[in-house]
Amino acid sequence: MREQEGWLIYTNNDTQDLKPGEYMLMADPPEKPDAAFVRGISQKLRAEVLDRDGSTCQMCGKAAGEIDPDTGRKVRLHLGHIVDKIYGGKDELSNLRALCSTCNQGAKNVTTEKPSAIWLLAQVRRAGLDDQKAVYEWLRTKYGD
Ligand SMILES: [Zn+2]
């Protein structure tokens, strides 16, 4: 909750009054737990997008609150830009859609962020032998033996 929703919770790292494993809630829970994900987008607009999209990921069809079979965790929906802001996309209903964490992550990889080595290696490990060999051949051609 500290990391994802911004709850102000102290542990023994923060104060000597607490023993390891003890937690103290230092302030009321934040009113907008998803604020980090909706920077600049009003709660009203967010609600409109989720309502229009039936609280369902517009890429894979998972619904908010379902258990995601890929991650084993509850599906959380984020707002994704259809046209990325760096390409002039706006924070408006027509340019926003509901995306689950997984698809939101994937969309980011496609549009803005380069894939990390960890992510790439995970994909290569998941791939079939022929595809792994194709990757190997491509790397060998590019970088030599
Ligand atoms: Zn999805």
> DSSP string of the chain?
-HHHH---EE-TTT-TTS-TT--EE-SPPPS-TTGGGSTT--HHHHHHHHHHTTTB-TTT-PBTTSBPTTTSSB--EEEEESS-GGGT--SSGGGEEEEEHHHHHHHHHHHTSPPPHHHHHHHHHHS-HHHHHHHHHHHHHHH--
Q: pLDDT band at 1, cuts 50/70/90?
A: low
Ligand 1 center from residue 138 Cα (angstroms): 30
Whether 29 and 78 share a structural domain: no
Ligand 1 center from residue 136 Cα (angstroms): 30
Total tally of structural domains belonging to the chain: 3
Whether 141 and 97 share a structural domain: no
pLDDT at res. 36: 41
Ligand 1 center from residue 101 Cα (angstroms): 7
Whether 28 and 38 share a structural domain: no
Whether 48 and 73 share a structural domain: yes
Whether 103 and 79 share a structural domain: yes
Q: pLDDT band at 86, cuts 50/70/90?
A: confident
pLDDT, tens digit, for every residue of 15-54? 777 777 777 666 655 444 444 444 678 899 999 999 999 9
Residues spanned by the domain of 140: 115-145
Whether 92 and 134 share a structural domain: no
